[in-house]
Amino acid sequence: MRINKFLAQAGYGSRRKCEEYVLGGLVKINGKVITDLATQVKETDKVEINQERLKAKQDFSYYKFYKPKGYVCSTTPDGGPSIFDLLPLKPSLTYIGRLDKESEGLLLISDDGRLTYKLTHPKFKKEKVYLVRTDRSITDGEISRMQSGMLIDGVMTQRANVKKLNQRSFEITLTEGRNRQIRKMCRKLGLRVHKLKRIEVANIKINDLEPGQYIELDKTEMNLINQVLEN
């Protein structure tokens, strides 16, 4: 089987898109980078893309989950109760894009490494939307500073879409995933975060999920996932 067909069957997009991966030097067979589109894949070959080993015709699972406040995105018990205590799913499934212990809201759960790569690598700039409630009124100037970018840990944040909801709440859309970014932005402005909830990832919305609840993605949401994987 030709390498582009193999990649397409593994779910990495159209054959043309898979050809781009090969020509871009992103594909290895048995540890060696290959760039020849005529390369044939044998059943015993070890094929990797972005350091993930592939098999053709993989069946992946996709869920969305409402992470409750107080749970950690970890399998170790040191930091408190784990989200995996609430997810009696197959062990190969993991979360995509962590939330800290005191945050809540939408986590996508999958065993598809391609999706993890597309949603977490900063070059793809996938949008994530959060609701934030603070301890005091927020000024228009503070909203403007968050929109324009702020110096956090010595690095400027990217521009963000920020919409004031009421005196103490706002909605913020980020395209980067820096550690505790929203909390650090608020702290720099003298704001204390009382609630931080992720409500949307790459156009997939939390909707009416309750804390601790998970559900398999529906057909419409899977179409959104496929758009992420193909672009």
pLDDT digits (tens, 9 = 90+) for 19-54: 888 999 999 999 999 999 999 988 788 898 877 877
Same domain for 132 and 196: yes
Give the range of the structural domain holding residue 102, as residue numbers without chain letter: 62-122+206-230
Same domain for 180 and 73: no
Residues marked active site are found at 100
pLDDT digits (tens, 9 = 90+) for 139-176: 999 999 999 999 999 999 999 999 999 999 999 999 99
Structure tokens that stand for 87 in this block:
């997810």
The domain total for the chain is: 3
**142: exposed, middle or buried (Cβ count in 10 Å: 0-12, 13-18, 19+):** buried
Q: What CATH number is given to the structural domain containing 220?
A: 3.30.70.580
- Average pLDDT for residues 129-134, to the nearest whole number? 99
Same domain for 134 and 187: yes
Same domain for 72 and 38: no
Q: Using only C-alpha atoms, what is the Rg of the chain?
A: 20
Same domain for 85 and 191: no
Amino acid at 204: I
Beta-bridge mates of residue 54: 47
Tell me, what's the pLDDT at 80? 82
Same domain for 211 and 113: yes
Q: What CATH number is given to the structural domain containing 15?
A: 3.10.290.10
Same domain for 195 and 133: yes
* pTM of full prediction above 0.85: no
Same domain for 215 and 105: yes
43-50: Cβ within 8 A, 24+ apart: 47/3, 47/6, 47/7, 47/10, 49/7, 49/12, 49/21, 50/26, 50/113, 50/114, 50/117
Kind and range of the H or E run holding 63: strand 62-67
What are the distances in angstroms from CA 62 to CA 92, 97, 126, 215, 220?
12, 14, 17, 9, 13
